Amino acid sequence: MADAYMLAIDLAKRSFQVCATDRAGSVLYNRAMSRAKLEVLLKERPACIVAMEACATSHFWGRQAQAAGHEARLIPPIYVKPFVKRQKNDASDAAAIGEAARRPDMHYVAVKSAEHQGRAVAYRTHQCFVAQRTQTINALRGHLAEFGLVFPQGTPHLKEIHAAVQDDTIDLPDNVRDVARLYLDHIDVLTVHIDQLLLKLREAMLVNAEMRRLCTVPGIGPVTAGAIMAFAPDLHTFSNGRNFAAWLGLVPRQRSTGGKAKLGSMTKMGQSDIRKLLVVGAMSRIRWIVRKGVLPDNWLGRLMGRKPRMVVAVALANKMARIVWAIMTREENYQLA
């Protein structure tokens, strides 16, 4: 146990599987531990490598390992899967993590600080409340449609629903009106929370130079800038903008063989939150150009003239990701060419 060179840990909430190996890769032990015993092990163990999958709670345990003097290695789960032998169980997963962490060309995830994760919690809470509000509005629209009241989609039409529920001339049972008011009150509460979180993101943009720099890019606002700051690692870790776009999953999927390159749709293998917001921002720019009625004489205008709108949005999102990498690594604001 004293000769352990690496601790490969399969994380969970209460039961953790720890596989200890020596420098040669031989397994010293592979046993389950409680949360309390794992904390004691990390504090009392001499400095070694602690390898884990980059999944839920991994950044917390990475910080715990680093505080105890260990080297934390977080591995994307997709890179661990090929090393699992036969049946999948905790012991096999822990051994596979140890095997993956020994690969010389393995890519690791940087351990996030508590403040970095705090920004992610604020963004995810905003997205969660937006989704809950949309779900509640759709549920209310569905209930009212059963009584002949059909309303368009979207929050801008909530005023019409409010007016219909308050209108006594409309034939609607009293118990349905009471339930509809409960829905509307809940929507109002969610809207207040969403506006408060959005205001905090905008306030953060005013005091954070990096967020202000991101917002100079067309199609990127406070929410997208906050997501990039919350979920993206230090962009200096990427050698170029294409690598950052690939990390986001905004590059074509390759099915190449025999020297023949075959490219398909985008991989969607990267960070989904940032990717989604970049595509939404790209689509907003495309709609703005369409409303003008005249395609610009540039790369985007020529692409819009010959490709479907969604394909153009993904291509523009890829370009925006490269621009983000460039302005953040060079510490310059976006300048329209």
What DSSP state is assigned to residue 157?
G
> Are 169 and 149 contacting, i.e. CB atoms less than 8 angstroms apart?
no
User: Helices 222-231 and 272-292 meet at what angle, rounded to 10?
Assistant: 160
Q: Per-residue pLDDT tens for 34-74?
A: 999 999 999 998 999 999 999 889 999 999 999 999 999 99
Contacts of 167 (CB under 8 A, 6+ apart): none
Note the Cα 182 to chain centre separation in Å: 32
Q: Per-residue pLDDT tens for 254-298?
A: 888 888 888 777 777 778 889 999 999 999 989 988 888 888 888
Contacts of 103 (CB under 8 A, 6+ apart): none
Q: Per-residue pLDDT tens for 159-176?
A: 999 999 998 888 889 999
pLDDT at residue 84, as a whole number: 92
Contacts of 138 (CB under 8 A, 6+ apart): 153
Its pTM stands at 0.77
Where are the domains positioned within the chain?
Answer: 6-101, 114-207, 230-330
Nearest to 226 by CA among 248, 209, 201: 201
Distance CA 72, CA 61 (A): 9
Residue reference for tokens 């009625």: 293
Neighbours of 206 (CB within 10 A): 9
Q: Taking residues 96-108, what's their average pLDDT?
A: 92
Statement: residue 2 has pLDDT above 60: no
pLDDT at residue 337, as a whole number: 61
State whether residue 294 is helix, strand or coil: coil
Q: What is the largest CA-CA distance in the chain?
A: 82
pLDDT at residue 201, as a whole number: 81
Residue reference for tokens 């403040």: 115
Contacts of 56 (CB under 8 A, 6+ apart): 11
> Are 7 and 20 contacting, i.e. CB atoms less than 8 angstroms apart?
yes
- Which of the two residues, 299 and 193, has the higher pLDDT score? 193
Statement: residue 19 has pLDDT above 70: yes
Q: CATH top-level class for 6-101? A: alpha beta
> Are 224 and 199 contacting, i.e. CB atoms less than 8 angstroms apart?
no
Statement: residue 308 has pLDDT above 60: yes
Statement: residue 186 has pLDDT above 80: yes
